[in-house]
Copies of this chain bind each other. A is one copy, B any other.
């Protein structure tokens, strides 16, 4: 594989010196881009797009054609893993994800296979290989997975949920069932991420979208413990470089210390925590990724630039910061506003790395 022309992202995650603060955006390959919507239409639907390595590669690269981003992220969905476990993922237009066969008792949990990533999830690995070849060393490629707790909520509920009635009902009433499910998911996710690394992912991120809906004790027991097990099981070096691991619990600002203790390299931050405070708390252990309010991109380029400046100032001098939004970019954002953010990060961060 060709050598990396821009490794700012990987260096910042390892708190090694960089020239400017690297930047990428969660959901940077997404609906806010007209070219994404065109490819998605060509694919037919969202899931067909995920399952087609050529088209997944096409949309992964689209934001890099527009913006000087410092990383690419595999275009995929966190629910590919439960789908490969046989739950039957489908999307109803405007309704979010659904599973044909939710998992609600011990028999169903015990019957779940742990998928072989190069078999049932081969389309993902093929996408990783295709994207790596197409990137040709331009920027690093990020692989990712949902956290066990986050995946479990969808698997028990049978789709998205507002209240977590069934998933939390199982957790409170039949914790041994929830633990059996999370255990299996931790195995599956470890294999899945290691296969992505073997296929060419140069960093991996675990998205714990729903860990922040738990109490502190339940978070440690039902979400963090399984993410820690994954971190411990990951391949941490490939192609002669470290493969950094990023943990992101949305709404986890109160728990950064215990998250940093998992042995991960970096924490994703949403915008409800001041990044300077977070650095004081855990910056001696991990890098930080974030954390602009994604709604800032609804505002004018001038307001966006002000917000970028504030976050950079709060983080302060030195490496260890990957700029990002605190959540995925909203589908109705003007791409020019994303451009304004990215430009401001590179331009305004120079003095902090002098």
Contact = CB atoms under 8 A, between A and B. Distances in A.
A168 B213 CA distance: 23
Interface string A289-314: 00001011011100100010010000
B330 A295 contact: no
Interface residues of A, number: 34
A215 interface: yes
Nearest to A330: B163
Interface string A130-171: 000000000000000000000000000000000111101100
A214 interface: yes
Given A251-B251, A273-B254, A164 B295 contact: yes
Contact of A253 (B166, B254, B295, B310): B254
A48 B99 CA distance: 39
A298 B254 contact: no
Contacts of A253: 254
B217 A295 contact: no
A69 B212 CA distance: 30
Nearest to A165: B298
Contacts of A271: 214-215
Nearest to A173: B299
Contact of A303 (B173, B277, B293, B298): B173
Nearest to A164: B295
B295 A163 contact: yes
A2 interface: no
Nearest to A302: B173
Nearest to A306: B172
A274 interface: yes
Given A172-B303, A173-B299, A298-B168, A272 B330 contact: no
A216 interface: yes
A293 B216 CA distance: 11
Given A212-B272, A272-B251, A293 B332 contact: no
Given A271-B215, A293-B215, A299 B251 contact: no
Interface string A241-280: 0000000000101100000000000000001111001000
A167 to B, nearest CB: 9
Nearest to A310: B217
A166 B293 CA distance: 14
Interface of A: 163-166, 168-169, 172-173, 212-218, 251, 253-254, 271-274, 277, 293, 295-296, 298-300, 303, 307, 310, 330, 332
18 contacts: A163-B330, A164-B295, A165-B298, A165-B330, A166-B298, A168-B298, A168-B299, A169-B295, A172-B295, A172-B307, A173-B303, A213-B272, A214-B271, A215-B271, A216-B273, A217-B310, A251-B251, A251-B272
